[in-house]
Amino acid sequence: MASENTESVLQRLTQLGSVDSEARDGILFALPYLLVFSVFLLYPLLKGFYMSLFDWNAFNPSQSEFILFENYVRMVQDPAFFKAVRATVVFVVLTVPTLVGLGLALALGVNQDIKGKRFLRTVFFSPYVLTVSVVSLIWAGLYAPEYGPLNYYVGFLMSNPPSWLNSFTFAMPAVALATIWWTVGFNFVILLAARQGVPERLYEAARIDGASTWHAFKDITLPQMRSAIMFVTTVQLIASFQVFGQVFIMTNGGPGDSTQTLVMYLYRMAFRQQEFGYAAAIGYFLFFVLVSVSVINYKFIGGSDE
């Protein structure tokens, strides 16, 4: 009886094995990615929260002191943190609308019946393949107060041109302009593809109805391109919130921390001050801001028509 039982169990197991070979293969094929994903993405996400509850000792983690939410309390009381939030918001405001608006304008322009479309697309898109250090070094040269070409031309307009990257007023706009040159091409090509996807017959119908160019833009182009516009806006918001390389290289956060953005503050706290627990808390704050941006965009503005 006992052996019969064992036999039937064994039989069932082998049957199960053959039926579920697809399940086994499925898991085997998923495993390599899941392993890397768990160790280098999910685990850090959890460990980050754990670390944020400690006065973390970077040199000897076992000496870390559990302080519950003190790092978060410190954050909301830290004037330097708020300064960094402010600098980040200024950068977002300076870049996101321009990047989307200019990207759209270039896309609509290049979509017209003109010669040299391919050349124009190459030119507008090309900076996107550069690394942030290349972009920052070139623009730091362009802005250089003594020998930079920008001030040579500005010198014709005013007698005392500003030294852009050392100026409280102009440092952030200067970084923003370099960023616009660098990444507007991304929006441009995506919006160009979206514009080319709008059926021409809609415009023909509008023309027959005697609609003006403005009305065609407002009533056909914008609604038809809505999901693409929302997509690039979300991507830009997320990218601009995380700005680091440009400010790190061009201004190093200066003058007087005026261009020190959130990620840069986080970087300094973690890798200059060795304040791992506090930096982890700032990282978590950043994480929640970005998730909220995505969710809000997706839920209330974006995803409804797809």
Site for another protein in 64-103 (CB under 8 A): none
Element (H, E) at 16: helix 2-19
> Nearest Cα to 99, choosing from 35, 20, 166, 178?
178
Nearer Cβ to another protein, position 5 or 33?
Answer: 33
Name the one range near another protein by CB under 8 A: 75-83, 91-99, 200-208, 265-273: 265-273
Strand boundaries in the chain, DSSP class E: 54-55, 65-66
51 interacts with another protein by CB under 8 A: yes
Contact residue for another protein among 67, 138, 154, 216 (CB under 8 A): 138
> b/e for 141-163, b at 16 or more Cβ within 10 A?
ebbeeeebebbeeeeeeeeebbb
131 lies in the binding site for another protein (CB under 8 A): yes
Residue ranges in the chain assigned as alpha helix (H): 2-19, 21-37, 43-52, 70-76, 79-111, 117-125, 132-143, 149-157, 171-196, 200-208, 213-216, 222-224, 226-241, 245-250, 262-271, 276-296
| Footprint on residues 161-180 left by another protein (CB under 8 A) | none
Scan residues 187-246 and list those touching another protein (CB under 8 A): 189-190, 193-194, 228, 231-232, 235, 238, 242, 244-245
Least spacing, CB of residue 4 vs another protein, in Å: 29
| Backbone angle region of 154, left / alpha / beta, with phi > 0 → left and psi within -120 to 50 → alpha | alpha
Pick between residue 136 and residue 259 the one whose CB is nearest to another protein.
136
Q: Which stretch binds another protein (CB under 8 A): 5-13, 19-27, 85-93, 199-207?
A: 19-27
265 touches another protein by CB under 8 A: no
Using CB under 8 A, pick the residue from 29, 66, 82, 217 that binds another protein: 29
The answer to whether 232 touches 100, Cβ cutoff 8 Å, is yes
Residue 27 within binding range of another protein, rule CB under 8 A: yes
Nearest residue (CB) to another protein, 37 versus 168: 37
Three-state DSSP class for residue 198: coil
Q: Which is nearer to another protein, 171 or 243 (CB)?
A: 243
Q: How far is the CB of 85 from another protein (least distance, A)?
A: 14
Site for another protein in 101-120 (CB under 8 A): 106, 109-110, 112, 114, 116, 119-120
Question: Please, where are the H alpha helices in 158-199?
Answer: 171-196
